[in-house]
Structure 1
């Protein structure tokens, strides 16, 4: 009886090869041939699952975004109680910082995609390369909930603060990746901002 192929697992295997190449050599190095070699499969198989390089790269990025989301969900589950607005914002932002091996890989992959999007209109225009809107929306909702509960200063502009926090997380991540700041220093800066917004 022929062995049954897990197509989702095969796609994850190929996407994982994209991540490793992007993190180590940059996204332009992730050609179909290089990805096939890194994944240990034929180039024909890569083309079978992903008709074009663009489809492959977008799928791999979306998978990375889901992996980051899963890390956040695990952190929420570990709390053992419904998260407060402060806990939601803290987990969402701190998970964006490269503080361990897995988050370092994801941060390097995201940085490679953003760098490639500067010159690739297809990547720049893809929803997959703009997770900022979703993050900012979550932060806005939680800051407003905190204001209603009296734990966030009433006078702040939740939308502007959310944009600033998302940008800060992206900037801190970049400084850690290039060695300008340590992960601990990045976390310290983020915690300082969180204490300002959740002074209680």
Structure 2
């Protein structure tokens, strides 16, 4: 009896091959052939699942976004439902710092996608570009909750502080990718900055 083909598994296998290729050589070096070689399949099979390179790129981006969203939610859950907003904010922002191979691949490829979207109309309209706006809204909510709880200065502009936090975490993540500092050093800088926003707050162990 012929073995049944798991098409979703094959698609995922091909997408993962693209991500590895992009992480090693950059998006500019990705071709249908290079992905096929990395995946150990034929170019025809890659084209069976993805008609164009653009389709493959967008599928890879969607996979990245879903996985990193799961990682952020895992960090928030690990912080606990009764955890203070300061700890939740730190848990979320730490995900912007590449600490392992998966997060390094995400941030490297995501950065390349973002730059490419500036000149590629097909990428410019994709939903992944809205992720920073969604995160900004989330941080505003957490900062507002912290102000209500008396954990930070009630006179702070929560929106402006959220923008600064995102800029700091993104810059730290990029500095790790560029080898300017280690992930531990970047996390220490983030911890220091949050300590200025929440001078009297205590963080949960393990964050």
TM (norm. structure 2) is 0.87
RMSD: 1.8
CA 50–82 in structure 1, closer or farther in 2 if over 3 Å, else same: farther
For 1:73 and 1:155, locate their aligned partners in 2 and report how far apart those are by CA, in whole Å.
29
For 1:129 and 1:12, locate their aligned partners in 2 and report how far apart those are by CA, in whole Å.
22
Gaps in structure 2 of 5+ consecutive residues: 201-207
Question: 1:115: Cα distance to partner?
Answer: 3.0
Residues 82-106 of structure 1 show CA distances to partners (whole Å, capped at 9, x for unaligned) of: 4432222111100110122322222
For 1:9 and 1:84, locate their aligned partners in 2 and report how far apart those are by CA, in whole Å.
39
Query: Which structure 2 residues correspond to residues 112-191 of structure 1 after superposition, within 5 A?
Result: 112-191=112-191
For 1:191 and 1:104, locate their aligned partners in 2 and report how far apart those are by CA, in whole Å.
20
For 1:78 and 1:89, locate their aligned partners in 2 and report how far apart those are by CA, in whole Å.
13
Q: Which moved more, 1:159-168 or 1:2-11?
A: 2-11
For 1:126 and 1:154, locate their aligned partners in 2 and report how far apart those are by CA, in whole Å.
36
Residues 14-65 of structure 1 show CA distances to partners (whole Å, capped at 9, x for unaligned) of: 1111111111111121212211221122222222222222221111112111
TM (norm. structure 1) is 0.90
Partner of 1:31 in structure 2?
Answer: 31
Question: 1:6: Cα distance to partner?
Answer: 2.3
Question: 1:80: Cα distance to partner?
Answer: 4.8
SS at match of 1:131: helix
Does 2:19 match 1:19?
Answer: yes
In the alignment of these two chains, the number of paired residues is 200
Question: 1:159: Cα distance to partner?
Answer: 1.2
Q: Which moved more, 1:102-111 or 1:80-89?
A: 80-89
Contact 1:23–1:112 under 8 Å retained in 2? no
Contact 1:18–1:60 under 8 Å retained in 2? yes
Partner of 1:61 in structure 2?
Answer: 61
Gaps in structure 1 of 5+ consecutive residues: none
For 1:111 and 1:77, locate their aligned partners in 2 and report how far apart those are by CA, in whole Å.
26
Does 2:41 match 1:51?
Answer: no
For 1:181 and 1:8, locate their aligned partners in 2 and report how far apart those are by CA, in whole Å.
38
